[in-house]
Amino acid sequence: MFKGATLFALIFILIAPKSREFLITSIGQANENLSKWAPFSYIVVALLIAAPIVSFFVIKTWPEHKEPENPMTKYRREVPEED
């Protein structure tokens, strides 16, 4: 549903020369900052990539919750079954 609307909006954003120029300069500045702050920026990028993978693994391997037994069931009156 959103894929079509996003592609439609991106086409109109990329048609305009000023918005295209802004996007290209923003990507260039991000690339320069990434290389300027090299050790720290690579660690941050690695954390941003690894966080969803680790959280997915934790969610998949989390043990299931078992409901505790109701302590009042031993006092429940049994209804005799009719044959």
pLDDT at 76 over 80: no
User: 50 by DSSP, 3-state: which?
Assistant: helix
pLDDT at 83 over 70: no
Number of structural domains in the chain:
1
Q: What is the phi/psi pair of residue 67, to 5°?
A: -70, 135
What's the whole-number average pLDDT of the chain? Answer: 88
Give me the mean pLDDT over the 36-54 stretch: 94
Domain contains 13:
yes
pLDDT in tens, 3-29: 999 898 888 888 889 988 998 999 999
User: 45 by DSSP, 3-state: which?
Assistant: helix
Give how far the C-alpha of residue 52 lies from the chain's centroid of Cα atoms, to the nearest Å. Answer: 6
Domain contains 29:
yes
Instruction: For residue 46, give its domain range.
Output: 2-61
Q: Which amino acid is at 41?
A: S
Domain contains 6:
yes
Domain contains 24:
yes
Residue from 36, 28, 5 nearest 20 by CA: 28
Contacts of 19 (CB under 8 A, 6+ apart): 13
Domain contains 37:
yes
Q: Looking at residue 67, what is its pLDDT? A: 86
